[in-house]
Amino acid sequence: MDGRTVLITGGAGGIGSAAVEAFVADGWRVVAPVRPGGAGRLPKGAVAVDADLQIETDVTAAVAAAAGEPGAPLRAVVNLAGGYAGGGLIAETPIAGVDAMLAANLRPTYLVTAAALPHLVAGGGGSVVCVAARAALSPFAGAAGYAIAKAAVLAFANAVAVEYKGSGVRCNTILPAIVDTPANRRDMPGADHSKWPTGEEIAAVLLFLASDASKPTSGAQLPVYGRS
């Protein structure tokens, strides 16, 4: 498994930081797209590439940087970039709110994966991991846009798994609920934080899905709810 690169989006986030650290510790070359000036927020060991994941040309350049290291071909993509926004009930939610959630969650996952797939195929295969949410399967009131966007991510990942299984590319999805991050603790101080999975626990699942240890697995939808 020496000489392998993983592209991790959202590498400065709560789950992303833990994922970067886990992959670096496991010997991967980690490339993480960040907005200009954001490299300092990444854990040590990651290769930062300036990119706005909403812009297709930026994404193409970031993927090319990940795939361009001799001796360390691109073997995995971990799509952690996304966002959450709540609101009112569906009749009270403007379509712009739904569009914003699709842009935050589906657009970067689609652009990054689409740009990376030719490199993965050319290298003999690899793994794509996407992040949906429990809300994609079990929505809760006041977050229709988020649930719709995460369901779209799930559908996209399933499409990748079907279309590229003959090329040796696997695609699986994790479905978190509430993760134990500083931001979530701040927003929900009265919750039982012990029920939430940690970023490190989820990073271990991501590492498994990216590695050859999960080689027979594609099209899976893995709940990572902890006890929440």
Residues with active-site annotation: 146
CA R_g for the chain: 17
Per-residue buried b or exposed e for 191-204, using 16+ beta carbons within 10 Å of the residue's own CB: eeeeebbbbeebbb
The residue assigned the tokens 């709810």 is: 225
52 vs 18: CA distance, rounded Å: 21
Tokens (6 digits) for 36: 């200009």
Q: Do 35 and 12 touch, CB atoms closer than 8 A?
A: no
Q: Do 161 and 171 touch, CB atoms closer than 8 A?
A: yes
31 vs 163: CA distance, rounded Å: 25
